[in-house]
Amino acid sequence: MNELTLARIIHLLGVVLWIDGVAMITTVLLPVTAKMHSVAEKIEFFEYIENRFAAQARFTTLITGLSGFYMVYILDAWSRFTELRYWWMHAMVIVWLLFMLLLYVLEPLVLRRRVKNQVQHIPIKILAMIQRTHWVLLSLSLITVIGAAAGSHGWMLSVG
């Protein structure tokens, strides 16, 4: 097995674990949390699961980005970022940067404290905002995955 094949395997595995986790939280965890009766129970349950997933999300997001950039480097595919028909490569970078910002900067340094402070006063609104945010992130991620799968197998946008 060569380095490029290994990078592709790591990249794909990272995407599967990362985006599948986002899908699980969005489509299973948050709806279950919303059906709980006690606000304290909702918050405790969500934080317990989310905190356990955060470490996995940070790791898989990091290895996905590193392996992706490594493949672009090995293939010398930088010029693809200048062509609209490779929109999915731009989308991968944007989604990755968005998640990196959320997971490594905003969540630990800003959001965790802000949510803890506000959840005491307006817990239903905070949980609804978290749900909406996760749906947006999941939607962007799935559009990107679909575009990357199609584009990497030759289905390109016809431009011009």
pLDDT in tens, the chain (160 residues): 799 999 999 999 999 999 999 999 899 988 888 888 887 787 778 778 877 888 899 999 999 999 999 999 999 999 999 999 999 999 999 999 999 999 999 887 776 666 666 656 666 777 788 889 999 999 999 999 999 999 988 887 776 5
Within a domain: residue 157? Answer: no
Within a domain: residue 132? Answer: yes
Within a domain: residue 158? Answer: no
Rounded CA-CA distance 30/32 in Å is 5
pLDDT at res. 101: 94
Within a domain: residue 159? Answer: no
Please tell me the total count of domains within the chain: 1
pTM assigned to the model: 0.84
Looking at residue 1, its amino acid is M
- Under 8 Å between Cβ of 75 and 32: no
Owning domain of residue 116? 3-152
